[in-house]
Amino acid sequence: MDPVKACSIKLNDGRLMPMLGFGTSAPGEVAKSNVEEAVKTAINVGYRHIDSAYLYLNEDEIGRAIWKKNADGTVKREDIFYTSKVWGTFFRPELVQTGLDTSPRKLGLSYVNLYLIHFPAALKPGEELFPKDKDGEIIFDTVDFGATWEAVEKCKDSGLTKSIGVSNFSCRQLEMILNKPGLKYKPVCNQVECHPYLNQSKLLEFCKPKDIVLTAYAALGSDSRKEWVNKNTPALLKDPVLKAIAEKHRCSPAQVALSFQLQWGGVVALAKSFNEKRIQENFQVFDFLVTPEDMETLDGLNKNIRCFADPRAWAIPRRGQAPHLRGA
């Protein structure tokens, strides 16, 4: 059996998604050429799931990497599971497909495998990723949430994307989609921050019976150089408990953190690195199993600590409401 298929999860639309993906978000000081080289390295070592977004501003480089590996015979297009995301400035229904059109064009692909609503907040349309007023406050947009999802469904129907889902959604925000009158497709996944310090057990409990896969980003913590990262978050991979389990299994703390996600069941993990050795090392996570006792210990590390701002503090304004930030 194809090892990639053997390590894949079946989505609620019948398609397969590799359980270990390669994340590509990077701080601004990381050269775009480094992203291209990292993606080529990832494909060489065996990654077939590549995660990016309009927001990351690196899809040109990822596209070049994919096609160079296609040209040298390493992969075919159908071997790659590529994820992109619609950003908040494209949340108006008439703009959703426009946002998606830019990704395949930059990538040189005719479709993406998965298209996600990136964040549960609509922003003022325009060229700025984070539109702000004269006081430096983000300018939100008033968008009917159901209409945005219907536009994403149309992207699936048109063949621009094979599967559709969401990112950074709470249980309440997921219910807004699931309970929408006339729902045609439910999300196949919800991509959220998830790691031993933030195990997302309640969200996982909500998603599993609804056949919605949880995808973990920041599974290894996150680079403190990123603008939206909490600089006071403790470094996950330096945790003494994580390091002790890694020593016992003769592996790296990163491999233990990834195994923690993958062995939960129904969870996909995104690993990110721009270091060739670590890219290869992270992909070897299927070579061993963390014991049930270790899983319980790792679960006990949960502190509800986030690397990124809590997305539950954002809301997509409903029709007739003023755009705003609020707790949820």
Known catalytic residues are 56
Supply φ then ψ for residue 310, to 5 degrees: -70, 115
Q: How many CB atoms lie within 10 A of CB 266?
A: 15
Distance, in Å, from the CA atom of 257 to the CA atom of 249, rounded to the nearest integer, reads 12
- Angle among Cα 96, 97, 98 to the nearest 5 degrees reads 90
**H/E element holding 193?**
strand 189-193
DSSP 39-67: HHHHHHHT--EEE--GGGT-HHHHHHHHH
First to last CA, the chain: 45
Residue linked to tokens 């939206």: 228
User: What long-range pairs does 152-157 form, CB within 8 A, spacing at least 24?
Assistant: 152/86, 152/96, 152/115, 152/117, 153/184, 153/185, 154/96, 154/97, 155/96, 155/97, 155/100, 155/115, 156/115, 156/185
Supply φ then ψ for residue 121, to 5 degrees: -155, 130
Distance, in Å, from the CA atom of 234 to the CA atom of 106, rounded to the nearest integer, reads 36
Single-letter amino acid code for the residue at 177? I
